[in-house]
């Protein structure tokens, strides 16, 4: 199974309970690589934009009020089969129905305050990481390079190595990289 990325949001209820460290450690123990992580306090507009797909649902207003109640931690995760594995680790949306040992069973309170958000598909995982400007590029170290990213225009002038080879890290969009598998040796 190819490497995938997915987004975790540690929601305000979990941050209030001060369990964000436990959740990140659990994800690391499950084999996820944390490719980016940031604490942020969502504005109403950000919350409404993120959950726009639920705009017509009766719980939309309550969900956005909750998500803006305090800080969240947004985490871009990577591993093979990341989307499904993450969903298995967090458990059912409603903590009361989640399996024992899952993150939502351990730390969630109810279907609204359920500790973490999870992406429901690989496509949405990438989109949702992008929504928070998290890990939008490949970022694997390019072992053939000693230079920092210079960009395609500069590299074209030298005609010695491609700009990708000269980059200190791969700067290809992750989605393109995952599709073509040719952006650098590390992620090929």
Q: Which is nearer to ligand CMP, 117 or 164 (CB)?
A: 117
Catalytic residue (choose from 41, 54, 85, 117): 117
Whether the CB-CB separation of 164 and 138 falls below 8 Å is answered with no
Report the b/e string of 119-135 with b at 16+ CB within 10 A: beebebbbebbbebebb
DSSP, res 99:
P
Residue 54 annotated to the active site = no
SS3 118: strand
User: Least distance from C-beta 65 to ligand CMP, angstroms?
Assistant: 11
Q: Which is nearer to ligand CMP, 115 or 178 (CB)?
A: 115
Tell me the closest approach of the beta carbon of residue 93 to ligand CMP, in angstroms. 5
| Residues making contact with ligand CMP (CB under 6 A) | 54, 59, 62-63, 93, 111-112, 114, 117-118
Shortest Å distance, C-beta 169 to ligand CMP:
31
Active-site residue list? 117
């Amino acid at each position: 199974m190819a490497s995938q990325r997915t987004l975790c949001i540690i929601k305000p209820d979990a941050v209030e309970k001060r369990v964000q460290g436990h959740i990140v450690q659990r994800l690391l123990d499950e084999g996820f690589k944390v490719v980016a992580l940031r604490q942020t306090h969502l504005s109403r507009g950000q919350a409404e934009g993120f959950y726009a797909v639920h705009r017509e649902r009766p719980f939309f207003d309550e969900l956005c009020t909750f998500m803006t109640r305090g800080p969240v931690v947004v985490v871009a995760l990577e591993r093979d089969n990341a989307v499904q594995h993450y969903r298995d680790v967090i458990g059912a949306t409603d903590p009361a129905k989640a399996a024992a040992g899952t993150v939502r069973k351990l730390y969630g309170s109810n279907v609204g305050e359920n500790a973490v958000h999870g992406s429901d598909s690989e496509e949405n995982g990438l989109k949702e990481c992008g929504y928070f400007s998290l890990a939008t590029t490949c970022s694997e170290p390019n072992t053939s390079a000693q230079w920092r990213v210079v960009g395609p225009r500069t590299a074209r002038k030298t005609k010695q190595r491609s700009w990708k080879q000269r980059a200190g890290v791969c700067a290809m969009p992750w989605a393109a990289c995952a599709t073509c598998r040719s952006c650098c040796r590390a992620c090929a």
